[in-house]
Amino acid sequence: MSAMTNPRSRPSAPAAPLLENVTASSFPTRHPSWLRCDELAQPLAEIRHQLQQTESLDIEQVRARTKWRLRHEINFMGSERFRSLREGKRIFALPLGLADRHSAPGSAQGRPTGSELPIHLGRLCEAALLEPDQEEQLFERMNYLRQQAAIHRTILNPERPSRSRLELIDLYLALAQWHRDRILEANLRLVFSIVKKFVTPNHSFDELLSDGIIALIRSVEKFDFERGFRFSTYATQVVRRNAYRTVVLLQQERERMIGGAQDMELNISNEDRCSAISEKRWHELRSRLGGMLGNLDRREKFIIRSRFSLGSHRRVHTLQSLANRLGVSKERVRQLERRAMDKLRLMARTNDLAELER
């Protein structure tokens, strides 16, 4: 293992040098022999239904698919040795030896001891942990397949679209995703164990779990297996940092919404300002405030959101900065803000929003 002490992934290898000097003759569209190896028999059987054949498409549809593919880059952790088709024979020669994914439902295999998760969530943790060599093989296969797909993507030409090349790219990417999913399944319990530590009455487990899984997917995309570190070491940092950021952002949003309610002359207690509002009351408050903002005109809505840092606005904007944006005077912005606040106060009384305080 590397002597380095910081288990960060290196930036993805620059794609351009790895995709240079690629020609249609050097990378033909016929399937390489390693695609027929025993190791890919199961993945191929499972992904067949995902693949779209192009034979039924007319030439304009094939051209449109080619343009779509060229607009979407293929990300991978590249290697010079992955340019060789012969490398595929070596990579897929050794058996992975993964545990059967279709074991009996509800099996406790792999489930964390003492888990209090519901059955439907507990089953997500039943995939067996990966051995170090299995983990390395999965990452190597995934990135090799993606680099091969990216190589063929550079050869695509909308003026002379190739059905067989489009299908080969789709095949490589589907196989790469199959290998990626095996990595995700084996590491879901890591996400569960991290995010449950951030759960509070105001931050639900489901919400944190959803964000945690997205963070896990991002970490798979960026992890460099050749550095010699276990994936769990890197993923733990990514998922934990993401969970902390999610909690902070939710707390900031909650405080902004409570502040907005106070400015509409709603009586929010000190206890509620300390984030003691229940989830149900909080979501209803946010929903009603969002609905009332929708009744403002475009400029009023923009000013209120900017002044109270709501929605996509992450900081409070000054009257002058808004005046510059809208092309009006500072005093005009103040008038529009006052008019919008009067409308919101009237809507709050009409909608009996203060009942949320009970």
Question: Which pLDDT band holds residue 6 (cuts at 50, 70, 90)?
Answer: very low
Which of 90-104, 114-128, 147-161, 320-334 has the largest mean confidence? 147-161
Q: Which pLDDT score is estimated for 106? A: 43
Q: Which pLDDT score is estimated for 275? A: 45
Cβ 170 vs Cβ 84: under 8 Å: no
Q: Which pLDDT score is estimated for 262? A: 56
In the predicted model, what is the mean pLDDT of residues 316-336?
Answer: 85
Q: Does 44 have pLDDT greater than 50?
A: yes
Residue 338 and residue 135: Cα distance in Å, rounded?
60
Q: Which pLDDT score is estimated for 11? A: 43
Q: Does 82 have pLDDT greater than 80?
A: yes
The SS3 assignment for 200 reads: strand
| Number of alpha helices (DSSP H) and beta strands (DSSP E) in the chain | 14, 0
Produce one character per residue of 9-31: b if its CB has 16 or more CB atoms within 10 Å, e if not: beeebebeebbeeeeeeebeeee
The SS3 assignment for 7 reads: coil
Q: Who's near 146: CB < 8 A, 6+ residues apart?
A: 74, 75, 76, 172, 173, 176
Q: Does 27 have pLDDT greater than 80?
A: yes
The SS3 assignment for 203 reads: strand
The SS3 assignment for 325 reads: helix
% the chain with pLDDT above 90: 40
Burial of 140 (0-12, 13-18, 19+ CB in 10 A): buried
Instruction: Tell if the pTM clears 0.75, that is, is over it.
Output: no
CB atoms within 10 A of CB 183: 23
Q: Which residue has the tokens 């969970």?
A: 243
Question: Which pLDDT band holds residue 320 (cuts at 50, 70, 90)?
Answer: confident
**Which stretch of DSSP H or E encloses residue 257?**
helix 231-263
What is the amino acid identity at position 214? I
Please report, for residues 47, 109, 169, 221, 227, the alpha-carbon distance to residue 147 in angstroms, rounded to integers and kept in the order given. 19, 34, 10, 13, 18
Query: Could you tell me the two tokens for 166?
Result: 């489009």
Whose CA is closest to 74, among 166, 148, 171?
Answer: 148
Query: Could you tell me the two tokens for 301?
Result: 């809505």
Query: Could you tell me the two tokens for 144?
Result: 């090799």
The full set of domains in the chain, from first to last, is 15-188 (no CATH), 271-357 (1.10.10.10)
Reported as a single tens digit per residue, the pLDDT across 200-235 is 877 788 888 888 999 999 999 999 988 888 999 999
Residue 33 and residue 37: Cα distance in Å, rounded?
7
Question: Which pLDDT band holds residue 352 (cuts at 50, 70, 90)?
Answer: low
Q: Which pLDDT score is estimated for 16? A: 62
Q: Which pLDDT score is estimated for 122? A: 64
Q: Which pLDDT score is estimated for 145? A: 96
Category of 11 on φ-ψ map: left (φ > 0), alpha (ψ -120 to 50) or beta? beta
pLDDT, greater one: 156 or 205: 156
Residue 230 and residue 209: Cα distance in Å, rounded?
22
Residue 61 and residue 55: Cα distance in Å, rounded?
11
Which of 30-44, 111-125, 301-315 has the largest mean confidence? 30-44
Q: Which residue has the tokens 């024979």?
A: 89
pLDDT, greater one: 188 or 103: 188
Please report, for residues 43, 229, 307, the alpha-carbon distance to residue 224 in angstroms, rounded to integers and kept in the order given. 23, 9, 43
CB atoms within 10 A of CB 186: 23
In the predicted model, what is the mean pLDDT of residues 50-71?
Answer: 92
User: Average per-residue pLDDT in the chain?
Assistant: 80
The SS3 assignment for 116 reads: coil
Reported as a single tens digit per residue, the pLDDT across 116-146 is 556 656 666 778 899 999 999 999 999 999 9
Whose CA is closest to 326, among 309, 296, 357, 301?
Answer: 301
Q: Does 280 have pLDDT greater than 90?
A: no
Ranges 145-149, 188-192, 302-306, 347-351: which has the least confidence: 347-351
Ranges 117-121, 169-173, 269-273, 290-294: which has the least confidence: 269-273
